[in-house]
Amino acid sequence: MANCAICNKTKSWGNKISIARSHVSRRASRTFSPNLRTVKAEIDGEVKRIHVCAKCLRSGKVKRA
């Protein structure tokens, strides 16, 4: 299971709810995966391939090589 190298974001779990959203509707468990990208980033002066979530890329926490 991959996770973000910067913020350590991983899979999270929740419930899948029907479209009707009735209080009697059945719920099934599901997973929410982070939006990970494999990028070449400069870390400690070296260029490495790391998994980074899109939020960290947008906010500028990673310097691309």
Sequence ranges of the domains in the chain: 12-59
Where residue 52 falls among pLDDT bands split at 50, 70, 90?
very high
Average pLDDT over residues 18-27: 72
- Tell me the H-state helices in the chain: 54-59
Note the pLDDT tens digit of each residue in 34-43: 999 999 999 8
pLDDT at residue 22 in the model: 67
pTM score, whole prediction: 0.75
Share of the chain above pLDDT 70, in %: 92
Phi-psi region of 3 (alpha: psi -120 to 50; beta: other; left: phi over 0): beta
Averaged confidence pLDDT in the chain = 90
